């Protein structure tokens, strides 16, 4: 079986429990009893159907652990022998792109896989031996790696030595995790803690697309965060008192911080919770001496026409990626005086192209590029292109002879994060598009679908990426088509009804005319006295 021979369980004792492997230290932390088949079936009747299933699950667990070890070894070998990296962990970006193509995962996830594989195989060979034999469950190994990611190589090897002395094949999960935490503490004893200043961060979390809400998580040193919360609380209480005084005294003019303009009607001040949010989201950031831009941030929200017309409640899309509830989308659109129309192909949702005649894309093209590439165009990269990204010509623009180089067209443009733009400039990655999809090719084979890009990674590996499309266009087209069919049926029904009514009126007039023509008119005769006798 070649490389897969390691997947078979090894070093089993006669009663089924794993034996010791040469080179491993003696166990200093032992289980109460070996984990043999009898131990696994202690709570199940031996020989029963449930017993067979329990053993099958246990063997599957061992096989998964061995398969996981096999993949880690492959990744570690790939990384170690990559000529662009040469085993230097800080230079693993190119390897991560190649791995992302093979595992069909994101670039960030691939980088994490490469680092974990290097640590597991090169820095922690003793515990890796347990994993390779199937004695260390895959999830336990993930737990171990998570706890050593911030450690140095020397500290990680110390944790590996400590855990190798634990009877991993038989101890409980609780004992294993306790020993991992103990090993990390012993390995880092005497090491100065990481300064809190390195933990400053602000990020968006807990996105709820159904409710249309998200959370802003601010992380930093305890004293700074408490000071920020205190300043926000003092400001909120001050504004709340000013609102109460204005409402009680009936002062002329607007009520302070009356964002919705309805406090006079409500007759009460805003709550502290609401004021904290209002002050935080409506205050001008102090960046002195650097001036804050007049329009520092623009969000792109695409709203289907059917949602605006009230035909359905299809969500809008924030930056082409995050759904926004229809109610919020309609309220947002109602507050805007100007809407910008974005045309899409009704079948694929691809954004229809616009053109430019200069090196720099037009405003409409930049808008479309953000929609086409809400994240970096490199396969696997998940970095957002809202702010720190650059518009890039796939075929380089010839500034001296513009007609001979790559044109400034949506076919020849994409958005890249700064890191991958540098890698493209350095020639480590190279994108290409099919000329047949270029409207300027003139061969008549241009499709209305999203453009695809073929990437060469380190001149050896190819990966394909497709532009983002409007996910709601097919839905909107279907709703519009359904509405049109309903209109057509109603129109045809009304036309038939009018035809029937006209036909009925014609029949009535015809019948009335016929009756009028067939009626005998008897002129007035003599009275009875004057009438001639009947004989």
* Model confidence pLDDT, tens digit, residues 117-171: 999 999 999 999 999 999 999 999 999 999 999 899 999 999 999 999 998 988 8
pLDDT of residue 88: 75
Residue 323 within any structural domain of the chain = no
Percent pLDDT > 90 in the chain is 20
- Do 253 and 377 share a domain, yes or no? no
Would 402 be classed as within a structural domain?
A: yes
- Whether 529 has a pLDDT exceeding 70, the answer reads no
Mean pLDDT of 319-339: 78
- Helix or strand holding residue 60 (H, E): helix 49-81
| Residue 369 scores a pLDDT above 70 | yes
pTM: 0.62
Q: Are residues 244 and 104 in the same domain?
A: no
Question: What pLDDT, on the 0 to 100 scale, is given for residue 524?
Answer: 57
Name the residue range of residue 454's domain: 363-466
* In-domain check, residue 88: yes
pLDDT for the residue numbered 84: 74
Residues 171 and 274 in one domain: no
Are 181 and 236 members of one domain? no
Q: What mean pLDDT is reported for the chain?
A: 79
User: Nearest CA to 130 among 72, 53, 54, 199?
Assistant: 72
Say what the pLDDT of residue 152 is: 92
The last residue of a domain, from among 149, 164, 190: 190
- Write b or e for each residue in 24-36: b if 16 or more Cβ atoms lie within 10 A of its Cβ, otherwise e: eeebebebeebbb
Return d(Cα 318, Cα 165) in angstroms, integer.
Answer: 52
Domain boundary among 282, 312, 335: 282
**Same domain membership, residue 132 and residue 167:** yes
- The pLDDT confidence band at residue 63, using thresholds 50, 70 and 90, is very high
Same domain flag for 110 and 208:
no
Q: Span 190-211, mean pLDDT?
A: 76
Q: Are residues 116 and 94 in the same domain?
A: yes
Q: Of 282, 300, 326, at which residue does a domain stop?
A: 282
* Greater model confidence, 416 or 340: 416
Does residue 267 surpass a pLDDT of 80? yes
Query: Which pLDDT value is given to residue 172?
Result: 87
Which pLDDT tens digit goes with each residue over 65-114?
Answer: 999 999 999 999 988 888 777 667 777 788 888 888 888 888 889 999 99
87 and 47 inside one domain: yes
Burial zone of 530 (CB within 10 Å; 0-12 exposed, 13-18 middle, 19+ buried): exposed
Residue 294 lies in a domain: no
| Residue 357 counted as domain residue | no
CA distances to 129, 141, 142, 156, 498 from 78, in Å:
19, 21, 20, 22, 77
For the chain, the domain total comes to: 3
pLDDT over 90 (residue 195)? no
Does 215 share its domain with 166? Answer: no
């Amino acid at each position: 079986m070649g490389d897969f021979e390691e997947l078979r369980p090894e070093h089993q004792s006669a009663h089924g429990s794993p034996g010791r492997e040469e080179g491993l230290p003696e166990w200093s932390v032992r289980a109460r009893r070996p984990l043999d088949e009898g131990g696994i079936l202690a709570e199940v009747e031996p020989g029963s159907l449930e017993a067979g299933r329990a053993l099958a699950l246990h063997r599957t667990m061992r096989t998964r652990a061995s398969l996981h070890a096999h993949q880690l070894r492959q990744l570690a070998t790939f990384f170690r022998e990559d000529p662009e990296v040469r085993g230097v962990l800080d230079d693993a970006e190119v390897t991560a792109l190649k791995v992302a193509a093979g595992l069909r995962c994101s670039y960030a996830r691939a980088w994490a896989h490469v680092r974990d594989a290097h640590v597991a195989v090169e820095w922690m060979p003793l515990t890796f031996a347990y994993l390779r034999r199937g004695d260390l469950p895959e999830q336990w190994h993930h737990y171990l790696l998570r706890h050593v990611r911030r450690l140095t190589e020397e500290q990680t090897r110390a944790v590996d030595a400590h855990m190798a002395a634990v009877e991993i094949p038989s101890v409980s999960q609780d004992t294993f995790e306790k020993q991992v935490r103990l090993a990390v503490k012993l390995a880092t004893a005497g090491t100065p803690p990481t300064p809190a200043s390195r933990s400053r961060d602000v990020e968006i979390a807990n996105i709820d697309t159904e409710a249309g809400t998200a959370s802003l998580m601010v992380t930093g040193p305890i004293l700074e965060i408490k000071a920020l919360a205190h300043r926000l609380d003092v400001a909120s209480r001050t504004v709340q008192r000013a609102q109460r005084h204005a409402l009680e005294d009936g002062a002329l003019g607007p009520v302070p911080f009356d964002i919705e303009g309805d406090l006079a009607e409500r007759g009460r001040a805003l709550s502290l919770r609401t004021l904290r949010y209002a002050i935080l989201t409506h205050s001008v950031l102090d960046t002195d001496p650097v001036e804050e831009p007049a329009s520092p941030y623009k969000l792109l929200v695409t709203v289907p026409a059917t949602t605006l017309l009230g035909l359905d409640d299809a969500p809008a899309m924030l930056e082409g990626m995050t759904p926004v509830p229809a109610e919020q989308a309609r309220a947002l659109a109602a507050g805007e005086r100007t809407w910008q129309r974005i045309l899409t192909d009704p079948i694929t949702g691809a954004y229809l192209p616009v053109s430019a005649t200069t090196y720099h894309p037009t405003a409409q093209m930049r808008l479309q590029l953000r929609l086409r590439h809400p994240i970096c165009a490199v396969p696997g990269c998940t970095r957002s292109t809202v702010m720190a990204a650059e518009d890039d010509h796939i075929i380089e623009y010839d500034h001296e002879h513009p007609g001979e180089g790559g044109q400034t067209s949506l076919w020849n443009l994409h958005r890249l994060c700064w890191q991958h733009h540098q890698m493209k400039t350095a020639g480590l990655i190279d994108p290409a598009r099919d000329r047949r999809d270029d409207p300027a090719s003139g061969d008549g084979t241009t499709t209305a679908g999203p453009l695809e890009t073929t990437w060469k990674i380190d001149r050896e590996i190819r990966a394909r990426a497709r532009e983002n499309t409007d996910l709601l266009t097919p839905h909107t087209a279907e709703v519009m088509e359904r509405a049109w069919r309903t209109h057509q049926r109603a129109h045809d029904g009304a036309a038939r009804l009018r035809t029937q009514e006209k036909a009925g009126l014609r029949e009535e007039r015809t019948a009335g005319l016929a009756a009028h023509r067939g009626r005998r008119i008897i002129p007035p005769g003599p009275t009875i006295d004057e009438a001639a006798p009947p004989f």
